[in-house]
Structure 1
Amino acid sequence: MPEKATHKVHPAPDWLTSDYVQDKLRIYFRNSSLKLEKLHTKPAVANGGNYGSVMTRINVEYTTKEVKEKQATTFLVKTTFADQDPAGDVLIHYGVYSREMDIYESILPQLADMVRKDLKDPRKLFAATMDVDRKRDSIIFEDMSLDHYKVACRKKKLDLEHTHLVLEKLASFHAAAAVLAERQPGVFANNYDRGFFNKHTRAYGPILTNLLEALSRSLSSDQELGPRYKTKIDKLIERLMDYGERSTTNNPGDFLTVAHGDLWTTNVMFQYDDEGHPTNAIFIDFQFSVWNSPAIDLHYFFTTSLQDDLRFGHQPELVQFYYYKLAEALKKFRYTGRIPSLFDFQLQFRSRGFYAVFCSLVFEPVMQYEGKEEASIEQALSSSESGMRFKDSVYESEAIKKKLSITLPFLDQFGLLDEM
């Protein structure tokens, strides 16, 4: 059965007309004779909801002077939330729209070219960009489903085979970005310092604290977890943004690069062979990309996307696997900066450990949400009856309660729930 649609769905923007799409197609295919014969739009909400933008799939049929027979293809259009949407009011403070347009227009094509040439890896790393429209804050890019790419199940999460593939590709991405920064000083100087935690804005704060307050309420009636963790969660709520900023402050000697910033199952697409084994992985959705330690991507990915046995029992080995891939790629790129030792990198990973707290206690439960209430940033911010029901219901499912019984002790043993 298809998953129940509990996430807010936005209609296609009014400006996405046949004339507009025809003009973009003529430029993309470099053919002024192209004539758009048919345009169909529909929401393209990714598995698990779409909290940061509006996604629309456009199906087109067109002819050209050279080919009279209709040709069909599809693209994805990514746009900002409409004016006055609470999500847009939050996200605008993070520069997410201009940053992602910059990335798709100029950064990703360079990184993809570097990986092909220097790492000799012909596999795709990202979706190709068809058009960037800064006037409308929109991006049109290729629809990877045409090449049979698809997202993995957010509920089942990723096994070791998928995880190793993602870590390999992530290491290539991180290495290429670090080398690009070395080759083009200042390329990431503007607008790449605004991840979820940063010194410029705390606009995301109410969303995170509202949901942690809902977690605290759920612990009030939990006879096992409540006495052990409710007080710690209540104190954490007061210092969440302080701890978050501290955990993402770069220290002298840290290896730094562009982190994806929002790396979980829905933002990775896989291609498979005939036997069902994943052969390639590409990354999408770069709104929260940030110049920081690659460790924040690892924490985010491990917390939200790995099967429990991998996440709780094999993190050091997975960090090691990633590190060796990263070091190998940096050497092939002839990176002249300091490559940390595995020991130093493991310490860097641990120093960013607080990233796992808000991902575990807020993001993962929301990503797994299957309740009846509409799931949206607006609901997370709202104190209305519906908004309160949504936040409370995030922590009501038996699956989330069971997961918390594992997650809270796991975080607590590292001191991540204590005063820091």
Structure 2
Amino acid sequence: MPDNSSKFNSSIQLDIPKWINAKYFEKKSYIVKTMLDDDKGGTLINSLNLFPKEKLMYEQILPQLEQFYHVLGKKVKFAPNCQWIEQKSNRITIVLEDLNTKKFRNINRLKGFDMPHMKRVLEKLAEFHAASVMWYEKYGTYPDEFHKSYLPANYQKSKSYQARVQSYKAAMATWGLEDYDKYMECIPNAEQFVNAAMSCFNSDPAEFKVLNHGDFWSSNIMLNYTSSGEVNQIRFVDFQLCKWGSPAQDLWELIVCSVVSNLRISEFDHFIRIYHTHLLKCLRVLNYTKTPPKLSDLHISMLKYGFWGYSTTFTQLVLILLPSDKDASLLKLIQPGDEGNKFRHKAYTNPLYVRAMLDILPFLYRRGILNF
């Protein structure tokens, strides 16, 4: 989902006297991220400890992940360079290089990645996950904030969730789904939703785990290109939701939220194979000594944690596919009342979203993921 921090481009420009040679001056551009003030919505956001986690990622963990490859002579970068971090009076500020100056950009979120893009993004994700496994092997358990899950208190009594489900079911009736009643009965109530979400955070010591990016969709993936138009380099941004667990979390979100519509389901299993093949290659390069996951293990985890597939369609995808940025508000989506109902109707009946759901919902149903 879009970052909830305050983030802006900062370019400092000076009026240079004519008698000074301009060649000694250079324009610099940076991305500045800082915590929101309490009166601007910061109380809730800051209570989730998102900035301390991102600070730790940029200060310590990301450089260490990249170092696993560097010592082997491989130039690997996962994120923009962090230029400066400051923590004063409980406010964290992070200054990053502006990737736009190196011609990095996002794809059109309404269209999604085609197959050549997906292959490169999946391979980059596998590099990131493999390095995160080696970090665990070398340094031990990730800090507590990488293991926590957050759900609102009293979610079962939430008027917000009830309003969303009511709007969702009303919209489903207009989609043209065959056997509409069959799917409507599968939509989880609040208690089922919470139970399914919490089951994704159970810790099985025998299960293969990685550090998930946790917010892995196209707007958090930046790319630049060769002169011939092929993907050259990839960087990930916004590391506030990183989570230690099954790689299924990042894979579900990427495939559901950021693939062109006609490939999302037809190439689903192929995407998992691409990721798995490169994951094994990276683990071998990094001299991983334990037994790596089999492809079948990965498919089983995609089923086991299939709730990520449903939840991302219910919350993230509906906002990602809204054509207008100014309307893509999570607060509006969860707001009870007439204004919220009006926005949800617009979002849930958006033709781009409907087209996606006509593929995704039957796919989830066939795989037993909607058995809440």
TM-score (normalised: structure 2)? 0.88
2:52 aligns to what?
98
1:56 aligns to what?
8
Alignment pair present for 1:142 and 2:70: no
Which one of 104, 107, 118 corresponds to residue 152 of structure 1?
107
Label 1:255 to 1:230 Cα distance change in 2 as closer, same or farther (>3 A): same
Which one of 161, 164, 167 corresponds to residue 116 of structure 2?
161
**Is the partner of 2:152 in helix, strand or coil?**
coil
Identical counterparts, % of pairs: 23
AA in 2 matched with 1:401: V
1:56, distance to aligned residue in structure 2 (A)? 0.5
1:173 aligns to what?
128
1:167, distance to aligned residue in structure 2 (A)? 1.0
| Partner Cα separation in structure 2 for residue 303 and residue 143 of structure 1 | 28
Label 1:372 to 1:318 Cα distance change in 2 as closer, same or farther (>3 A): closer
Q: Which string of whole-angstrom CA distances, capped at 9 and with x for unpartnered residues, describes residues 313-334 of structure 1?
A: 1222221111121112112212
1:168, distance to aligned residue in structure 2 (A)? 1.0
| Partner Cα separation in structure 1 for residue 330 and residue 38 of structure 2 | 14
| Partner Cα separation in structure 1 for residue 318 and residue 286 of structure 2 | 39
Alignment pair present for 1:418 and 2:371: yes
Unmatched tracts of structure 1, length 5 or more: 1-48
Q: Which string of whole-angstrom CA distances, capped at 9 and with x for unpartnered residues, describes residues 360-409 of structure 1?
A: 22211111113597432332343354333222211122222222222211
AA in 2 matched with 1:254: E
1:281 aligns to what?
234
The equivalences for 1:254-265 within 5 A come to 254-265=207-218
The equivalences for 1:335-354 within 5 A come to 335-354=288-307
1:252 aligns to what?
205
Alignment pair present for 1:228 and 2:182: yes
1:193 aligns to what?
147
1:250, distance to aligned residue in structure 2 (A)? 2.8
CA contact (8 A) 1:267 1:285 kept: yes
**Is the partner of 1:282 in helix, strand or coil?**
strand
AA in 2 matched with 1:145: N
RMSD, aligned CA:
2.6
Alignment pair present for 1:116 and 2:66: no
| Partner Cα separation in structure 1 for residue 80 and residue 126 of structure 2 | 18
Alignment pair present for 1:407 and 2:360: yes
| Partner Cα separation in structure 2 for residue 374 and residue 402 of structure 1 | 19
AA in 2 matched with 1:155: L
1:82 aligns to what?
37
**Is the partner of 1:270 in helix, strand or coil?**
strand
**Is the partner of 2:143 in helix, strand or coil?**
coil
AA in 2 matched with 1:403: A
Label 1:317 to 1:402 Cα distance change in 2 as closer, same or farther (>3 A): closer
1:67, distance to aligned residue in structure 2 (A)? 9.2
Alignment pair present for 1:299 and 2:252: yes
CA contact (8 A) 1:208 1:362 kept: no
Q: Which string of whole-angstrom CA distances, capped at 9 and with x for unpartnered residues, describes residues 215-271 of structure 1?
A: 1231245564643322322x4444112101113323232111210011000000001
1:202 aligns to what?
152
| Partner Cα separation in structure 1 for residue 369 and residue 303 of structure 2 | 11
Label 1:104 to 1:251 Cα distance change in 2 as closer, same or farther (>3 A): same
The equivalences for 1:307-346 within 5 A come to 307-346=260-299
Greater Cα shift, 207-216 or 318-327: 207-216
Q: Which string of whole-angstrom CA distances, capped at 9 and with x for unpartnered residues, describes residues 336-356 of structure 1?
A: 333122222222222111110
| Partner Cα separation in structure 2 for residue 261 and residue 151 of structure 1 | 18
**Is the partner of 1:329 in helix, strand or coil?**
helix
**Is the partner of 1:369 in helix, strand or coil?**
coil
CA contact (8 A) 2:319 2:347 kept: yes
Residue-pair matches, total: 362
Unmatched tracts of structure 2, length 5 or more: none
Label 1:203 to 1:209 Cα distance change in 2 as closer, same or farther (>3 A): farther
CA contact (8 A) 1:51 1:377 kept: no
AA in 2 matched with 1:227: D
1:281, distance to aligned residue in structure 2 (A)? 1.1
CA contact (8 A) 1:101 1:134 kept: no
1:279, distance to aligned residue in structure 2 (A)? 1.4
Alignment pair present for 1:184 and 2:184: no
1:143, distance to aligned residue in structure 2 (A)? 0.4
**Is the partner of 1:403 in helix, strand or coil?**
helix
Which one of 19, 27, 30 corresponds to residue 72 of structure 1?
27
1:127 aligns to what?
80
1:178, distance to aligned residue in structure 2 (A)? 1.1
| Partner Cα separation in structure 2 for residue 148 and residue 122 of structure 1 | 19
CA contact (8 A) 1:158 1:305 kept: yes
Q: Which string of whole-angstrom CA distances, capped at 9 and with x for unpartnered residues, describes residues 141-184 of structure 1?
A: 00011111101110110011111111111111111111112111
Label 1:204 to 1:294 Cα distance change in 2 as closer, same or farther (>3 A): farther
TM-score (normalised: structure 1)? 0.79
Greater Cα shift, 215-224 or 205-214: 205-214
Alignment pair present for 1:242 and 2:192: no
Greater Cα shift, 320-329 or 337-346: 337-346
1:17 aligns to what?
none
Q: Which string of whole-angstrom CA distances, capped at 9 and with x for unpartnered residues, describes residues 86-143 of structure 1?
A: 4x4443343211101110111111112222333x432432101011222222211000
**Is the partner of 2:94 in helix, strand or coil?**
strand
